[in-house]
Homo-oligomer: A and B are copies of this chain.
């Protein structure tokens, strides 16, 4: 039942906004009484936090499988862009991620969790870039991660952001010796 509550939270946060997810709406979506929420969790915030951090962790975990499909650095950019192509900036996953960024500014526990996930993402990406002879791998990973998040953010406002030219521009970030 905790899983059903978490799934309901993951649906409602993008729909209504973090601070507008109510106990009753959450329970109704999960198909249970509103008392169940406070039986399993001390507060609404705790449900939202767990649901959000769970999704973020899954997103970070996807990085490895994405990078596994790329041989060159430019190829990795293409793979990364292809991976975030599913996130239109208006889909539930994108919105939930951004909502979590914001809620983290008002919830220290959430901030710590998401900061750890971001650090892990950058560390893995930086390690991969270093292995593929990209100069300054860690800062490059940081800029790349920020650019990917920013692109998802902007794609919610301009759906033209997935043109092929974006790939070429973003590939400038990973200069190859050859």
Q: Interface on A for B, CB 8 Å cutoff?
A: 14, 16-20, 90, 95, 98-99, 101-106, 111, 114-115, 118-119, 136, 138-140, 142-143, 145-151, 153-154, 156-158, 161, 163, 165-166, 168-170, 172-173, 175
* A118 nearest CB across to chain B (Å): 5
* This chain's copy number in the assembly: 2
* Apart from A142-B154, A143-B147, A146-B161, 9 more pairs, CB < 8 Å: A20-B20, A95-B102, A139-B168, A140-B169, A142-B166, A143-B151, A146-B154, A150-B150, A172-B175
Chosen A-B contacts, 19 in total, with CB atoms closer than 8 Å, are A14-B105, A16-B106, A17-B17, A18-B19, A20-B20, A90-B105, A101-B156, A101-B157, A102-B102, A104-B156, A104-B157, A115-B157, A136-B168, A142-B166, A146-B151, A146-B161, A148-B150, A172-B173, A173-B173
